[in-house]
Chains A and B, each alone.
Chain A
Amino acid sequence: MKNFKNTLYYISEVKTILKINGLSTLLSLASLVLIFFVTLLTLTGWWLSHEVIQGIKSEAEVSVYFKKDLNSYALDALKESIEKIEGVNLVTFVTQDEAYEAMASILGEEAKVLNHFNENPFEAYFEIGITLEHRQSVLEAINSLQNVASIRDNREILDTLERISRFIMIIALVLSIAVGVTTFIITSHIIREGVNAHRDQINTLQLLGAPNRFIRMPFLMEGTLISVMSGVFSVMLYFLFIMAMRPMVSGVFPFWPLINMHAITQTIGAVVIFSSMILGGVASVFGLNQISEM
């Protein structure tokens, strides 16, 4: 009971402190919500790009082009040797015509550019599905085969995507740090303002023998509350935003339905709210350190 007897008092003190700098507190809160929101979006962007890469990787395919003028025996032999390589799942022969059709369907409306060619510009090839962990050894093994002319895999696209993903990650990290620092500065500034406005009261309580924990508790609660409220509001804004965006993005990637958007947004939301709580607490303690002894 003794430990809780002051709870209501603390809460009413927090209200009093909040009222003193009402407008500036409100503005600080609004800016915190905005920067939290931007961070949430960037973190989501990073995670999504990561998922997209995983999606592309999981359906890794390699196209193997062979030397011209191979007879069907040689082709069968080549197919057989490829199938024997560890890590190769499926080898399909794609004829010149099929290659043409495939490109035509990818180009869709633009397929008429293909009419400029007098003869089919595409070559027949083997399409090979491979397991990811064997990618390197499979590529080396295929390369060493006699009749192979060239290999095309989606590595370049993957590399580019990975570079983009790393870039987003760096932005997300930098932003997270910036947000952390900003939250810290804003929160401890709010606390400092509150302490300044209550200097007389704090001094009186010190002279009456109140322990620091009693004097600081309302300010600590205030700082944590403001920070957590910014976190919660920004997460709410973020959920609304994601819900509004979903119909526009879905279907961009074939594996989109596989991405668990709920898990992503909920995890990021929880992390941001939790961090905002810790940050608010630490920043308040920091802001409170300037209370001098009476």
Chain B
Amino acid sequence: MIRAEKCRLIYNEGTCALETFDLEINRGENVLIVGPSGSGKTSLLKLVMGMAYPTEGKFAVLGQNISKDQSKAIRKLRTQIGPIFQDFRLLSGRSVLDNVVLGMRFLSFSQSEMKVSATEAIERVGLGHKIHHDIDRLSWGECQRVAIARAISRKPKLIVADEPTGNLDEENAINVLKLLTSLSDSETTVLITTHATHLVKHVNATKVLTMNNGIERCVAMHEEL
């Protein structure tokens, strides 16, 4: 699913965001990526999304190499990923349903399949009653759930969520983490980053990646606890 070999990420102006690391994440895993701000969590997800390329070594997602000369194939790879961005990247001036459907229009769904899958996803995140509401009239938490609905409606092989706990209070943060981890199954892998280290024990993940200027350690969930 995700495989990195002697991978290293240095940004253009010289910041080393990820020190050399190896990594293997398998299908159906549920991985928590934890670490303080600036430790490289988002950078790791950028590699996964093909928004950044490894400076050294190899990084592959679903068998697709992440490198500059692969931009066309990477665009294709992204159709199998359900991203939940830190700032959600929803389109303002449009309804909840429009936002979710827009993420599916260029995939192989028919018109009616799109409608069904979008509605199911919106109901799953508990926004069924606001399906036709304008995005601009929703709260931060509601927008986050729209972003989650957009990700899962696409029926992706990989779901990535960047800092979904954001500035939520503890109860809501745990709820959203539980919702996200519940999305993994034998076909679907889930990656979640968070700086809220103390919440890890409330969540049921298969692996925990601890970050500090790169991946410090990667252990199975039961070892972490």
Q: Is the CB of A207 within 8 A of B89?
A: yes
Q: Is the CB of B78 within 8 A of A207?
A: yes
With contacts A206-B75, A214-B105 known, is A5 near B111, CB below 8 A? yes
B110 within 8 Å of A (CB atoms): yes
Complexed CA–CA distance, A16 and B92 (Å):
12
Which of A1, A204, A294 has most B Cβ within 10 Å?
A204
Looking at the complex, which one of A5, A200, A209, A294 makes contact with B77 (CB distance below 8 Å)?
A209
B15 within 8 Å of A (CB atoms): no
Q: What are the residues of chain B within 8 A of A5 when measuring CB–CB?
A: 105, 110-111, 114
B83 within 8 Å of A (CB atoms): yes
User: In A198-225, which residues have CB < 8 Å from any B CB?
Assistant: 200-201, 203-211, 214
Looking at the complex, which one of A204, A207, A210 makes contact with B106 (CB distance below 8 Å)?
A210
Count of residues in B whose CB is under 8 Å from the partner chain: 25
Q: Is the CB of A207 within 8 A of B51?
A: yes
Complexed CA–CA distance, A238 and B85 (Å):
53
Chain B, residue nearest A294 (CB):
B51
Q: Is the CB of A209 within 8 A of B105?
A: no
A274 within 8 Å of B (CB atoms): no
Q: Is the CB of A209 within 8 A of B110?
A: no
Q: What are the residues of chain B within 8 A of A122 when measuring CB–CB?
A: none
Complexed CA–CA distance, A201 and B102 (Å):
11
Complexed CA–CA distance, A200 and B77 (Å):
20
Looking at the complex, which one of B71, B89, B102 makes contact with A293 (CB distance below 8 Å)?
B71
Q: Is the CB of A209 within 8 A of B76?
A: yes
Q: What are the residues of chain B within 8 A of A203 when measuring CB–CB?
A: 89
User: In B39-91, which residues have CB < 8 Å from any A CB?
Assistant: 49, 51, 71, 75-81, 83, 85, 89, 91
Q: Is the CB of B78 within 8 A of A208?
A: yes
User: In B103-127, which residues have CB < 8 Å from any A CB?
Assistant: 103, 105-108, 110-111, 114
Complexed CA–CA distance, A207 and B71 (Å):
11
With contacts A204-B91, A207-B89 known, is A9 near B106, CB below 8 A? no
Count of residues in A whose CB is under 8 Å from the partner chain: 20
Chain B, residue nearest A12 (CB):
B98
How close is B153's CB to chain A, nearest CB, in angstroms?
11
Q: Is the CB of B83 within 8 A of A207?
A: yes
Complexed CA–CA distance, A211 and B73 (Å):
10
A2 within 8 Å of B (CB atoms): yes
Complexed CA–CA distance, A203 and B85 (Å):
12
A150 within 8 Å of B (CB atoms): no
Chain B, residue nearest A208 (CB):
B103
Q: Is the CB of B108 within 8 A of A209?
A: no
Q: Is the CB of A209 within 8 A of B81?
A: yes
Which of A200, A203, A209, A293 has most B Cβ within 10 Å?
A209
Q: Is the CB of B105 within 8 A of A6?
A: yes
- 0/1 per residue, A1-44, Cβ < 8 Å to B? 11001100100000010000000000000000000000000000
Q: What are the residues of chain B within 8 A of A9 when measuring CB–CB?
A: 102, 105
Q: What are the residues of chain B within 8 A of A16 when measuring CB–CB?
A: 93
Q: Is the CB of B78 within 8 A of A209?
A: yes
Chain B, residue nearest A5 (CB):
B111
- 0/1 per residue, A258-294, Cβ < 8 Å to B? 0000000000000000000000000000000000011
Q: What are the residues of chain B within 8 A of A208 when measuring CB–CB?
A: 78-79, 83, 103, 154
Provide 20 A-B residue pairs closer than 8 Å at the C-beta atoms, listed in order of the A residue. A1-B111, A2-B108, A2-B110, A5-B105, A5-B110, A5-B111, A200-B89, A205-B102, A207-B51, A207-B78, A208-B78, A208-B79, A208-B83, A209-B75, A209-B78, A209-B80, A210-B75, A210-B105, A211-B75, A214-B106
Enumerate chain B interface residues (CB-CB to A < 8 A).
49, 51, 71, 75-81, 83, 85, 89, 91, 93, 102-103, 105-108, 110-111, 114, 154
Known contacts A6-B106, A210-B106; 4 additional CB pairs below 8 A are A205-B106, A209-B78, A209-B107, A294-B51
10 residue pairs, one from A and one from B, having the closest CB atoms: A209-B78, A209-B79, A214-B106, A204-B89, A210-B106, A5-B111, A208-B103, A6-B105, A293-B71, A209-B75
Enumerate chain A interface residues (CB-CB to B < 8 A).
1-2, 5-6, 9, 16, 200-201, 203-211, 214, 293-294
